[in-house]
Structure 1
Amino acid sequence: MAEPAPTVSGAEVAVLRLDEETPEVARARAAVLRIRLAPGQRRFAGEAVETLPRADADPNRTPFAVLRADETVGFGILDRLGILPELTDAPQRAVLLRAFYIAPEWQGRGVGRAACAALDPLVRAIAPEAGEILLTVNEHNPVAIRSYLSGGFERTGRRYQDGEAGPQLVLRRSVG
């Protein structure tokens, strides 16, 4: 019987904004473009090959890589506008986490949970007025829902109906 994969602590995971020009960012950008979603997840999220160029073209979006040690293991975007007015009564005090995913070989090890906790400094840097992070997650994606809830997000009681993949739950987490 194979040994279970070790879990990851928050101290081992960081996020790196991808809208700056440094050698480290160039390596991380190239790496996120190679990450593919796990089978069955494509209907819930877009890969960086599609979403990174859109983020680069939108001044309200900040793309980031999820790093474990020196390895790029995930991707996401923080959006300061997007659909926020449809998700909260205070869109000016929130950012939207979108296009977030972890490479399949790192899923189930706590990397996503640790990455959610590591978002606060990036949120404060790009949107100092933000007090919360919001996201939408497909109601038919229980693995992602459990992951976000274990990462400190909580249900808001709201639903977003205009998602391409069906009804979405709206989750939130305070920025610490």
Structure 2
Amino acid sequence: MTVIELRDLAHDVTNNLLTGFPSAKLDEAIRAVTGADGLIAVTPIFTTSYSGLFKSFIDILDPQSLADLPVLLGATGGTDRHSLSIDYTLRPLFTYLHAVAVPTGVYAASADWGGGGESGSSTLPTRIARAAGELAALVAVSDRSDRVIDPFALPEGFSPSGSFRA
């Protein structure tokens, strides 16, 4: 398991957005995410959406690199009022990238930490366990580990003569 803290890569992400080239440390993080069998993507919620650093990291990924990747979506925030942010910001983002998001998103509000764990209809540990089980089931049937993605591969049907076969 690899944990990537984006705050440690903030300058690298910004430099990549400006130059188009990742640092060695950022390249390692990108390869870890795009080569994973499953992903747990968690962001703090700011003004009802994911953080700018989170989105900037997603923006530097190849748009096809997360296709068919099982993803557990998670977020943290100050109040339960933003718990739907997973469904109206994160889920559409990962759907656009053709990732496979598990049905249960995990949102943790301040009330989940030390307040008895009661938030909504279930406790945080219960939501985490349910989402983790869904992620494990998707990873078990995923064929991502069988694929090799070559960023320099020629498109299918490419002909050396410069034309494409139909």
Normalised TM-score (structure 1): 0.29
Greater helix content: 2
User: Which of structures 1 and 2 has the bigger CA Rg?
Assistant: 2
Normalised TM-score (structure 2): 0.30
Greater strand content: 1
